[in-house]
Each structure stands twice: as C-alpha cells, then as structure tokens.
Structure 1
Amino acid sequence: MKDLNSIVANNLKRIREEMKLSLEKTADITGVSKAMLRQIETGESSPTINTVWKIATGLKVPYTSIINAPQPDTFVVSRSDIEPQIEDDGKYQVYSIFPSEEGRRFEIYTVELEKGCSFSSNAHGERTQEFITVYEGELTLYVEDEEYIVKAGDAIKFRADRLHAYHNKSDALIRISMVIYYPV
C-alpha cells in the first residue's frame, strides 16, 4: 500500500496545484476535510475507495487520475504488478487495468468479490456510466432501489451518477470487468 499511497499523494497534490486550488477550496468542493486531504497528500493516510471517488467527483477528474502513475504508449499489464484497492475486509478488490489518460474518457478495471461481499459506491460524476461484464459467478447489483442479477457471460450498463452497490450472495468468487465512462 505504500506505493499506492505515494502515487495518490503525488497525483492529488499535482492535480490540486494544476487547478490552483487551496486545500480549503479542495475540501469545499470534494466534501473531504482539509485535514484528511493534507494527510493524503503527505502519504500519512490511506484513503478508502469512496474517499478517492469523492475527491475525483469533486475535482471532476477520472478516478484513476488519482490512483495511477502515468503509463507509456504501449505496455503489457501484469496483474502481479497491480496493487489492488481493497474494501469490505478484503472481500472487494479493485485492480486498475487501464487508467484514464489525457483525452481518454474511460477506465478499465478488474473487480473481484469474495463470498459475502457487499460494497456500496457513492454516486459518480454527472452522466458517468458503468459497463460491467461478469466472467465468473453471479453479481447482484443495486442501482438506487432497483436490483439486477447479472450472471457469468452477461453484462449490464447503468448510469453511475446514482447510488449503486455490488453484492456477492453466493458461495463462489465473482470476477467482473468494469469500464467507467466519463462523458464530459
């Protein structure tokens, strides 16, 4: 996690400075306290997935612009080189496969949900969409008050600018591919 904390710290500080935002103004627009932002920027705090989403949404930048180091034009992604973000006591793991880059309005992730996993996500930026393909298991997805069951081999698209939650109600691991698209 130390490398990820360092990347997040450097990216947040760089983005904030490029936007010419003080810590106080950044706190106002993200809903994350000035003290927490300072701890993140100094690498003293390991922010949760939802905290990073709040920052990204408030700054109107892609999620992965905060959590990933810049990449060359051509490269192979080795899963062993990706440090996942982990929630729900390790039951929810997110691997950022292709982070955002300047001019590209989407990100690609692999997500794994262990037995009993339950992860609720904050609403993302306006008109953001998620495209999910289930490769293993059966995902229960809630978008606001609607429940969707997505089985292996199936896919779903939804507006992610609403509250949504991912659940594994089975005894088997769920593996999904997730594309997040930012229209603006």
Structure 2
Amino acid sequence: MKEPGQYLAQVLKQRRQAKGWSLDQTSRNTGVSKAMLGQIERGESSPTVATLWKIATGFNAALSDFLEPPDIEDQGSVRQADELRHQPAVDQMLVATIFPYDAALGFEMFELTLMPGYTRSSEPHAPGVIEHVVLLRGEMELLIEGRWKLLLEGDAIRFAADRPHGYRNLGREPAVFHNLIHYPA
C-alpha cells in the first residue's frame, strides 16, 4: 500500500484530470489554493484534515476516497482500528478508516483521535451530509449551530454537517470517537 501522502497525490491528480479540471478550476471548486494543490499532487505538502475535507467536498466525494484505496475485502473481514490508525495530515488528529465510503450504503466510518488542546473548525460539507459521533474515550466538544456541546464518554450525537461545525479537546487526555458520515443519494 502506498504511503498516505503518495496515495493522496495520485488520487487528487487522477480525479482532477478525470473531470478535466486545471489546477485553477480545482482551486475554485475546493477553496484550496492552486499552489497548495500543486504541492499536494507532487507529494511536497501534507495538508491539514480541514484541507482534505475542502478537497473532498469540492469533488463532491467522501473523505475516505482521498485517504486510502476502496475497500476490496470480502464482507465479514475484521478491521482493527489499531492497525488502521495513522496521522494523515499535519494536524494533531489520528484517523482510522473503519469502513471506507461505499456508495451502495451511503456512508463511511472513522475512528478519530483528538489530541489534548486540538481544535478544528470544519466548513460545511455537501448538502444533506449528516455526521453521527459516538465518544468512546475522554471528553470533547462539538460546535453545532454556533454553540459548543460537551460530550462525555459514551455520549452520542447526530447533526447536519452541511453547516459549519467543529471539534475540540480541551482535556488532558486524547478524545477517541467514532464518526459515521452519511452522504445523501
């Protein structure tokens, strides 16, 4: 399997070319600078998770499409978060793609780890995208409808992700949660 940055570089360039987009057009559609897109395609830059989201949203694609190849394993295969967890971007978030996006099911599922002090604002995803968050360990806050909501271990929440939202961990321990992201048909 390719390194995450190599895979991102390859898939970004392939998707851009498949759409017939120049770097300028890709920049307009994603809100990511032409210079940054070029650096990512050449494998010279590792973007933040927020930038990865902008790219995915600009392509009307799932985040996991840019993190790893589609899951070609048979159904019933066991996937271990400990084996999948990595830091796909320069910011302090660990990601394990539990279930990559599957168009037939309309969702992808991640285990995300926010390190202490980590805050990330997320721009709106495509219309109709809904996130489901279940906090496994630690505590964290979600920005929903302009207000931070505290989540404690075991809490679960569903929210419209087609609006600005955010994640933060003000605690002293990592916050680990599952995030199931549903994309409308």
TM-score norm. by structure 2 comes to: 0.87
Which residue number corresponds to residue 78 of structure 2? 76
> In 2 relative to 1, CA 182–47 (structure 1 residues): closer, same or farther, beyond 3 Å?
same
How far did 1:101 drift?
Answer: 3.4
The one-letter amino acid paired with 1:84 is: Q
After the TM superposition, which residues 18-33 of structure 1 pair with which residues of structure 2 at under 5 Å, given as runs? 18-33=18-33
How far did 1:85 drift?
Answer: 2.7
CA–CA separation in structure 2 for the residues paired with 1:43 and 1:86: 12
The one-letter amino acid paired with 1:15 is: R
Which residue number corresponds to residue 124 of structure 1? 125
After the TM superposition, which residues 35-184 of structure 1 pair with which residues of structure 2 at under 5 Å, given as runs? 35-74=35-74, 75-78=77-80, 79-86=82-89, 88=91, 90=92, 92-184=93-185
The one-letter amino acid paired with 2:130 is: Q
The one-letter amino acid paired with 1:121 is: S
CA–CA separation in structure 1 for the residues paired with 2:39 and 2:120: 25
CA–CA separation in structure 1 for the residues paired with 2:33 and 2:5: 18
Which residue number corresponds to residue 9 of structure 1? 9
> SS where residue 37 of structure 1 aligns?
helix
How far did 1:100 drift?
Answer: 1.2
With 48-57 and 66-75 compared, the bigger mean Cα shift is at: 66-75
RMSD over equivalenced CA pairs, Å? 2.0
Tell me if the contact between 1:65 and 1:101 (Cα under 8 Å) persists in the aligned partners.
no
Gaps of 5+ in 1: none
CA–CA separation in structure 2 for the residues paired with 1:144 and 1:134: 19
Aligned length: 181
Q: Could you list the runs of 4 or more consecutive aligned residues of structure 1 that deviate by over 3 angstroms after TM superposition?
A: 101-104
How far did 1:171 drift?
Answer: 2.7
The one-letter amino acid paired with 2:131 is: E
> SS where residue 156 of structure 1 aligns?
strand
The one-letter amino acid paired with 1:180 is: I
Identity among equivalent pairs (%):
36
CA–CA separation in structure 1 for the residues paired with 2:142 and 2:151: 8
